[in-house]
Structure 1
Amino acid sequence: MTTSSHPLVARARQLADRLLAPNAETVDRTEVPAGHIAAVRRSGLLGLGAPEAYGGAAAPAPVARQVAEILAGACCSTWFVQTQHHTPVAALVKGAPAVRERLLGPMARGELLSGVAYAHLRAFPRTPVRVVRERGGWRFDGTVPWYTGWGLNDVMLLAGVTDAGEALFAFTEAREQPGLRASPPMRLVALTAARTVALELDGLWLPEEAVALRTPYERWAAEDRPKTVTASPAVFGVAEAALALLDEGTAGPLRTRLAEVRDRAYALADEAAPHAHLDERLALRLRSFEVLGAATTAAVVAGGGRATALTSTAQRLAREGMFLLVQGQTAESRRAHLAALAS
């Protein structure tokens, strides 16, 4: 079976063509509706990488990447909400048995949608969220600067740093509760529709059985680094959507450049060890941004004055492209990107 013929790729295309793309401009100006998330749940895409034993599809990485490209190119806001779910699924697969047996099946089957509240760990040695032992469980204090999917997610994977320098990940319900308060939804230049808030933690207590993972911060950071230097499939998906707005004479050369970067980035992801070729992966990530910028700019230029209307697909894709420049950004990737822009 080829990647393009995989049933989940076909479902993603159907979802994109029939629901996401036709409503993308409306969603962009409002918010991701519950109906979009219900459709994603029914599609089976939330179980994309989950083990079959728990009701998932255990799809290979090329399938997951193609699904991400399709969804991001159709409606980046909906893609961004549902993509948060796959990290908690992966954490459960490797996590503590108690929480895995309680949550992995419902999450693999799409009965529960999870968000993530852990990007702040990349700010270390700053510790925006601190975790201490209390009453046989764990107390969380601090601020989660970004949490996406508020009001849509059922659960969240929350992380903080312990006094012993461990990264600790635990699950809790994605709702206001004692010790957890959400800000009003953020107004952003792009993906406001994804319902992003900040979370204030003031003594949120979670039991030991909610913990999925405790590991030395340095070990977690080493495992996390490949994710932050690798080109995102969403970048390729949004770029392809922008190229679809152009005539072939303009799109052709850009499509060739895009394919070259994508093919090499995906080849490294599939063939190399997780921590191999990290410098080249980062260089390819930056090149993917270059092509994305060229593609979305060309779409705006080709659209002329009409491209500045909020009903224009071109301007939406350009703003989504700007968002993707900083999504998953770290100090390392920021320095490398700025250096590349200045050279």
Structure 2
Amino acid sequence: MTALTAPHPLVTRARRLADDLLVPSAARVDQQGVPAGHLEAVRRAGLLGVSAPEEYGGAGAPDPVARETAEILAGACCSTWFVQTQHHTPVRMLAGAEPGLPARDRLLPALATGASLAGIAFAHVRAFPRVPVRVTAERGGWRFDGTVPWYTGWGLNDVMLLAGVTRDAEVVFAFADAREQPGLRASAPMRLAALTAARTVSLELDGLWLPGDALLRCTPQEEFARADGARSANTSPAVFGVTSAALSLLAAAPDAGDTAAALRARLAELRRSAYALADHPAPREHVAERLALRTRAYDLMRAATTAAVVAGGGRAMSLDGTAQRLAREGMFLLVQGQTAAVRRTHLAALGG
């Protein structure tokens, strides 16, 4: 895709990593799982610290650079992208926390450089008023009980950012070691239609106790929902990355050049519009427009991946075929980061 930013060293490194490692091994990773070596390569390229503060060893790169590197990784190997993308949310939240917060001082230096890898375990908070994970203040810390339905990167991550809801509808975010321990048990890795390679499990919490210094923040559920809804309305860069990869595959197929060119023109326009809204100075405004653009991006991704399968013919059905893998990754991205508003908007558009 045409770069939306001036050339940046991290973008150059991301492209080199994609060309030299991620693309050549994507079919194998899809079938066998994301190896720790891939995440180490992402770390060596400086990409785990793309948005982390410079004073902690991160790159402190602007959002357009972070988005472009995400597009590159997702289009090259969506499973690797999905494991490492979990890391960036805890880093951003810690960077935005008040100086002197024990969890910030303890964890951010290693997370900013990628020396430690983080995952997230709080998408279930979107289910409110249903509460899959209940939190109770106990013994100067916090007790977590319930089920985390999805946790990605098990066996690869060092720490997790866990959340649950109190009886008073406060969302409590705290850090835990990403390993089995008293009160925390992981399921077997899930077999999924796409991104099984990302090592996703469910977590059973039965009295997991975390000390007070593990706390990141407490947020009223209504405030969490408002911020999360506005943020989730934006289009994921991974959607554009997978779409672009499918169009590159399509452009190389016989008789498909015109179709690829037409779809790529739509991609360029959508990408510009979506990122302009993502950079809007009032991030909680224009939510309906953001949702509409996200839905259009889904439609384009589906068209691009379908066209790649059609152009590939029968050989596209091979398990090591790129077209079918991109189509399955696109299917996964339809529900990744989904909120009720995203689902309603998408279904309404599909119904005409």
TM-score range, shorter chain: over 0.9
- Structure 1, unaligned runs of 5 or more: none
The 5 Å alignment of 1:119-268 reads 119-247=123-251, 248-268=257-277
Cα 1:251–1:4, aligned 2, differ >3 Å: closer, same or farther?
Answer: farther
Q: Distance in 1 between matches of 2:309 and 2:176?
A: 42
In the alignment, the residues of structure 2 paired with residue 4 and residue 310 of structure 1 have an alpha-carbon distance, to the nearest angstrom, of: 37
Q: Deviations over 1:268-317 (max 9, x none)?
A: 11134111111000000000000000000000000000000001000000
Instruction: Provide TM-score, normalisation by structure 1.
Output: 0.98
2:231–2:283 Cα contact (<8 Å) kept: no
Identity of aligned residues (%): 68
Give yes or no for contact 2:103–2:214 (8 Å, CA) kept in 1.
yes
**Is the 2:34–2:199 Cα contact (8 Å) retained in structure 1?**
yes
Q: Secondary structure at the match of 2:250?
A: coil
Q: Assess, with a 3 A threshold, how the Cα gap between structure 1 residues 13 and 119 changes in structure 2: closer, same or farther.
A: same
2:51 is matched with 49
Q: Distance in 2 between matches of 1:270 and 1:178?
A: 43
Which of residues 276, 287, 290 is equivalent to 1:278? 287
2: distance between equivalents of 1:275 and 1:330?
15
For 1:2 and 1:24, how far apart are their aligned partners in 2? 26
Deviation at 1:2, TM superposition (A): 7.5
Count how many residue pairs are aligned between Structure 1 and Structure 2. 343
**8 A contact 1:4–1:10 mirrored in 2:** no
- What is aligned with 2:254? none
Do the aligned partners of residues 305 and 2 (structure 1) sit closer, same or farther apart at CA in structure 2, a change above 3 Å counting?
Answer: closer
Contact 2:231 2:284 in 1 (8 A): no
- Counterparts of 1:109 and 1:134, CA distance in 2: 33
Give the secondary structure class of the aligned counterpart of 1:5: coil
Alignment partners' CA distance in 2, 1:51 and 1:94: 10
**Alpha-carbon deviation of 1:3?**
2.5
1:332 partnered with 2:334: no
Counterpart for residue 14 of structure 1 = 16
1:110 to 114, 122, 127: 114
- Paired residue for 1:68? 70
Superposition RMSD in Å: 1.1
Structure 2 SS opposite 1:200: strand
Of the structure 1 ranges 200-209 and 47-56, higher mean CA displacement relative to structure 2 is found in: 47-56
Counterpart AA for 1:254: L
User: Which ranges of structure 2 fall in alignment gaps of 5 or more residues?
Assistant: 252-256
Matched, 1:314 2:312: no
Instruction: Return the offset for 1:4.
Output: 4.8
Alpha-carbon distance between aligned partners in 1 of 2:113 and 2:284, rounded to the nearest angstrom: 31
Shift of 1:227: 2.0
